[in-house]
Structures are given as structure tokens and as C-alpha cells.
Amino acid sequence: MSYPTEREPWSCDHRTHEEWVALGRPNLGIGIMYIGVGTFFLVGLDFYDYLFYFPAMFALLRSKLQRYPAFKIMTLLGFTDILALFDVSFACGWGAITGQIYCMSPIINRFFGTWVYFFWTVSSSTAVLLALTRFVELLDKKCGKTFFGGNKPFYWFGLIIVYAILLAIFGGKCVFSSYMYAVAYDPFYGMPERNGTVDLVNVS
């Protein structure tokens, strides 16, 4: 994956809006697949009988196992996955159907890009925290209780969220690109220009 030479601003001035729209690559099939998979996991086949995520999360929240730090961490992971799924399924599905590239809808694409970056960071960091918790508790239960016992996981959650916010703001931007039907760090991925430069690989 290539990165733009200058991240701010991502200028769209060298083409008209109509020209950017013409460069988009709509794909109804991929868009439906994105939305379908997200709907399946969030809602299920039958709204009343086969809900997947939400009953599992409610059961986890009401479980007596919440006194264990690992289950608190898994609860955060579950909610993070639910919120991220709205972006990576419905937003990406919309992007594929409409053939989105950054300069077609800069504000909307920035918003969804920041959303996915934030929740990806939270999810990844929380998964690392879960692995660390299990490792420390297996190694030394007393040490595990010292660092992760009681409400201490919530302090770790706070650090993770602050880290995710800072990374989403200062760590770089990503947007959906219909040239790869996924999120890219380069707003001009697959196009000759990349933030005022020419990508010779794609031009040739």
C-alpha cells in the first residue's frame, strides 16, 4: 500500500467534481456482499429469532463472569466489533455501490475513514490487552489481580480509547477507495495522481 507524500491537505482541486465521479468504479455486487454480511451478523436471518451479536452481548453483560477481567475485556471487544461493523459493512457497501473515491465526497469519506481507524485501533489494542491479561494471570495470579483485578480493566480501557483518539487524529487518515473496494491510506490509490505527484507504476 502506498502513502501520499503530503497528508494534509488532500487536494482535489486539479479535477472537477464531475471528473472525480467519472473516475469512480461502482460495483453493485460487492456492495451488496458488504451490506449482506454485516446484516447477517448484526440482525441474522430472522429479526426475532436469530439475532446474533446483541443477545450474546446482553448475556455477557448479565453474566456473573463479569467479575473476571477477561470477560470485561471481551465485552468491550464485542461492543467495538458491533460499532465497527456498521462502518466496514454498511459504509463500505455504500462506497462500493456508488463507486466512492475520496474526492467524490471528501467530508463523508473522511468521517467514515476516521471511524474505521478509531475502532480498528480500539479493537486491536483491546485484543492485545486480553492476551496480556491471560498471560499475566497464568504466570502469576497475584500479579494479575494487582494489575487487572476489580475495576482496573476500565482504567486500561480509558488508556486504549485515548490512544485510539490520538491515533485517529494525528496518526494518518484512511478512506474507502472503489479502486480496491476497501479502506486505503492513499486517497488516490490506483490513479495517476497521488496528492500532486504521479504514480509511475499505475501510469505505465
CA quadruple 109, 112, 114, 116: dihedral, nearest 10: -140
- Render the chain in DSSP notation, one character per residue: ----S--S----TTS-HHHHHHH----HHHHHHHHHHHHHHHT-SSTTT---HHHHHHHHHHSGGGGSHHHHHHHHHHHHHHHHHIIIIIIHHHHHHHT--GGGSHHHHHHHHHHHHHHHHHHHHHHHHHHHHHHHHHH-HHHHHHHHSTTHHHHHHHHHHHHHHHHHHHS---EEETTTTEEES-TTTTSSEETTEE-HHHH-
pLDDT over 80 (residue 3): no
**Which cell numbers in the block locate residue 130?**
486480553
The pLDDT of residue 101 is 92
Residue range 169-179, pLDDT digits in tens: 887 778 899 99
Global pTM exceeds 0.75? yes
C-alpha cell at 134: 491471560
* Dihedral, CA of residue 35, residue 39, residue 45 and residue 51, to nearest 10: 170
β-bridge pairing 197-198 and 175-177: unpaired
- Other residues' Cβ atoms within 10 Å of the Cβ of residue 154: 11
Grid coordinates given for 153: 480493566
pLDDT one-digit tens code per residue, 35-52 = 988 888 776 544 444 456
Type of residue numbered 98: T
pLDDT at 204 over 50: no
Q: How many CB atoms lie within 10 A of CB 21?
A: 17
pLDDT tens readout for residues 60-112: 777 787 888 888 898 888 889 888 888 888 999 999 999 999 999 999 998 99
Q: What pLDDT, on the 0 to 100 scale, is given for residue 51?
A: 55
CATH architecture, domain defined by 17-199: Up-down Bundle (1.20)
Show me where the domains of the chain are located. Answer: 17-199
